[in-house]
Amino acid sequence: MEEVVEQQTQSADQDGENEITTEGTSFVHGEPPQDGSAPPKVESEVEDLHEKVKKQIIKEGHGQKPSKYATCFVHYRAWTESTQHKFEDTWHEQQPVELVLGKEKKELTGLAIGVSSMKSGERALLQVDWELGYGKEGSFSFPNVPPMADIIYEVELIGFDETKEGKARSDMTVEERIGAADRRKMDGNALFKEEKLEEAMQQYEMAIAYMGDDFMFQLYGKYQDMALAVKSPCHLNMAACLIKLKRYEEAIAQCTMVLAEDANNVKALFRRGKARAELGQTDAAREDFLKARKYAPQDKAIPRELNLLAEHDRAVYQKQKELYKGLFGPSPEPKPKQTNWLILFWHWLLSLYSRLSKREMQKAD
C-alpha cells in the first residue's frame, strides 16, 4: 500500500513544485474538536484574564502570543451559559474568522481578551460575562443571543499576522491578499519539511482564510487563476494531512471544496477516493478513482487502488459466502426408503400360489 501511495505522490505533484503532500511521511497525531453539541468538559486550571473573562486551556499552543492590532485567525463555538444553546460554530461553516485585536466588534470584546492570551494552535474554553459579550439587550438577528447572556466559547487560535497598523484583509488589495496567502502556504511547506504537521496545517488554514468566499466571488480572469493556484493546493495539502491523521470525513470535505472549483482535479479525486475507501464507502471511492483514471490514464497508482477495492470486494463476498454456509448448514442427505416386509411376504405368497396352480394344471393335462 505504501508503494502505491508514494508513486501517486510523485506522479500527481509534477505540476506544482511548491505543493507539499504528506503520503508516506511521519506525522503528529491530532485531535479534532469535539462534536460541539455542548461545551466541552475541561479539567485544567481556571485562569482569570479579566474580572469578567475566565480561561481554561484545552490544548497547548506554541510560539508567541499576538500583540495589539495583530490580525488573528480563529475558529470558535459559542453557547449561552444559562441554556447551553449553541448560537455560532465556525468549524461547522469551515470558515475561520478574522479578528484584529483592539479593533474587534464590541460584542467580541471578551473573545478578543481570551485570544490575546493564546498561542498559535492553542485551544481554550472561555467564560465571558454578558457585559463583554452581547450586552444588556442581546442580539435578535444573527447570531440570536438573549439579553444579559453570559457566554461560553470554545476557541482555537489558528495563527496571526503581526501588523502595527492592524491592516485587515478587507483593506488589502487583491495582490496583497493573494501574496499573504501564498506566504502562508510556503510557511506551511517549510513546517511540513520539519515534520511539524499540525503547525503546517495551521498555516494552510490561514492561507485559505485569506481566500474566503466573499473574496473569491469578486475575482475573475487572471486574478481568479492566481487565487486558485494558491487556494487549491492548500486544500489538497490539508486533505493529505487529514488522511494521515485518520480524520477522513474532514479530508473528504477539503477535496470536495477543490472539486467544486475544478470537477476534474485528479489529486482531489484520488485523495477523496482514498478517504472514502478508508471509511468503507467502496462504491463512492471507486467512482472517484474511475474518474481520476479518465483524466490521468498513465498514472499507475490509480488502477492499483482500484485493484485494492476489487480485492476488498472479493474478500467481503467470500466472508459472506462462508457466513451463509455456516448459517444454513449443508443440504440434508435423502433418507433411504424403509423396506415394507409385509408387502414382500404378500408378493411371495402370490408368486407361490401362481406356481402351484400352474403345476396342478400341467398334471391334469
pLDDT in tens, 37-62: 889 999 999 999 999 999 999 999 88
Whole-Å CA distances, 131 to 11, 54, 128: 57, 14, 8
Q: What is the pLDDT of residues 282-296, one digit of tens each?
A: 999 999 999 999 999
| Cα(22)–Cα(185) distance, integer angstroms | 14
Domains 47-161 and 169-312 share a fold: no
For the chain, the helix, strand and coil percentages under 3-state DSSP, each to the nearest 5: 50, 15, 35
Instruction: List the single range of 91-105, 227-241, 293-307, 317-331 with lowest mean pLDDT.
Output: 317-331
Domain boundaries, the chain: 47-161, 169-312
Q: What is the pLDDT of residues 292-344, one digit of tens each?
A: 999 999 999 999 999 999 988 888 778 777 777 656 556 556 666 566 677 77
Q: How far apart are the first and last CA of the chain?
A: 100
Model pTM score: 0.67
- Asked if 283 and 313 count as a contact pair (C-beta separation under 8 A), the reply is no
| Cα(63)–Cα(120) distance, integer angstroms | 7
In this structure, CATH architecture of domain 47-161: Roll (3.10)
Cβ atoms < 10 Å from Cβ of 299: 19
Tell me the fold of 169-312. Answer: 1.25.40
Q: Are strands 151-161 and 86-89 parallel, antiparallel or unpaired?
A: unpaired
| Cα(315)–Cα(326) distance, integer angstroms | 17
